[in-house]
Amino acid sequence: MKIGVFDSGVGGLTVLRALVPRIASAQYLYLGDTARLPYGSKSRATIARYAISSSRFLIEQGCEFLVIACNTASALALEEIRETAAPFGVPVVGVIAPGAAAAAAASLTGDALVIATSATVESRAYSAACRAQNLGAIEKACPLLVPLVEEGWIEHPVTADVVDIYLSELHREAADLGLDPDTLVLGCTHYPLLRGVIEAAVGRLWRERPLRVIDSAEATAREVAGRLGAIPAAEDAEGLVPRFYATDSVAKFRQLGSRFLGRPISEVQLVDLGG
């Protein structure tokens, strides 16, 4: 079984990292569309165009299952990707619905908060997915968090300040609406790297009611494992290492990606998607 995992950059490696121990016998192909990132600040039409060409590449490489490990592409182009994959009989799972389902399972008050990129928030995809789970949600765009992670300012006072500013605004907004949230969804695959800083700010701001922080990478991996069931191990399953593809500098992908994957990435292949 070949599983394709796609993101605009290296953030989706947090999803791959959650998938590998759950479905160890699969062959993984990971594509980071780094020449055209970030998606989070762009328009729906552009995001859909990029996501479709990326998905098509993975299908051409023989992938039988696609995981859209990019919140922005999942929020704005999941239907278009499914239409692209359907003629090949390739199922597609995004990160939004699993994240919303995990939030609904975790919430006791029925109110959740979501932080994500501008494009994801503007699409209101999380609000819709949460509503389908009887969960109320308010969303907040945090456009500086991705650049801060990319700069490597993970445990950094400036990052702590920026997180504090965004979450304080969200805290005020929730209070103004009279909501009682108990769950915070990390609606971007870069954000799990800032989990420490985010949890510290959450602890300060929501003293009276601690928030549970939901990482959609774990929820998505569970969803994929459930959909695929038990997969017979390939004969050489032990030797299967994920294959990595990037549309821009493979050196940068290796260096930054290792941080997201949690272990070194040795080989990355450069692909041209015609951008």
Residues tagged active-site: 70, 188
Lay out the site mask for a copy of itself across 85-124 (x = CB under 8 A, - = otherwise): ----------------------------------------
Smallest distance from the beta carbon of 32 to a copy of itself, in angstroms? 12
Residue from 24, 25, 43, 267 binding a copy of itself (CB under 8 A) = 43
Cα–Cα dist 273/257, whole Å: 20
Single residue of 20, 52, 128, 144 touching a copy of itself by CB under 8 A: 144
169 contacts a copy of itself (rule: CB under 8 A):
no
The sheet with strand 243-246 has its strands ordered as: 92-94, 65-68, 2-7, 27-32, 243-246, 268-270
Among 20, 52, 143, 225, binds a copy of itself (CB under 8 A): 143
Where on the phi/psi map is residue 197: left (φ > 0), alpha (ψ -120 to 50), or beta? alpha
d(C-alpha 86, C-alpha 91), whole Å: 7
Q: Does 34 bind a copy of itself (CB under 8 A)?
A: yes
- Judged by beta carbon, residue 36 or residue 171, the one nearer a copy of itself is 36
**How many binding residues for a copy of itself (CB under 8 A)?**
28
Candidate segments 45-53, 77-85, 126-134, 222-230, binder of a copy of itself by CB under 8 A: 45-53
Nearer to a copy of itself, 57 or 65 (CB): 57
Q: Which is nearer to a copy of itself, 18 or 36 (CB)?
A: 36
Q: Which two tokens stand for residue 92?
A: 């597609």
Number of Cβ within 10 Å of residue 261's Cβ equals 19
Distance CA 155, CA 153 (A): 6
Asked whether position 171 contacts a copy of itself by CB under 8 A, the answer is no
C-beta separation of 41 from 119 below 8 A? yes
When computed from its CA atoms, the radius of gyration of the chain, rounded to whole angstroms, is: 18
Output DSSP code: residue 233: P
Q: Which of 161, 169, 238, 267 lies at the binding interface for a copy of itself (CB under 8 A)?
A: 161
Alpha-carbon 29 to chain mean position: 16
**Cα(51)–Cα(73) distance, rounded to whole angstroms?**
6
C-beta of 73 vs 146, nearer to a copy of itself: 146
The Cα 135–Cα 147 span in angstroms is 30
Binding-residue pattern over the window 229 to 248 for a copy of itself, x denoting contact by CB under 8 A: ------------------xx
User: What are the tokens at 73?
Assistant: 């592409």
Which residue from 2, 151, 130 is spatially nearest to 62, judged by alpha carbons? 2
CB of 34 to a copy of itself, least distance (A): 8
Phi, psi (deg, nearest 5) at residue 23: -125, 80
Among 24, 105, 158, 241, binds a copy of itself (CB under 8 A): 158
Segment contacting a copy of itself by CB under 8 A, of 11-19, 138-146, 183-191, 237-245? 138-146
Q: Which residues are at the interface with a copy of itself (CB under 8 A)?
A: 34-36, 41-43, 46, 49-50, 143-144, 146-148, 150-151, 153, 157-158, 161-162, 165, 247-249, 252, 274-275
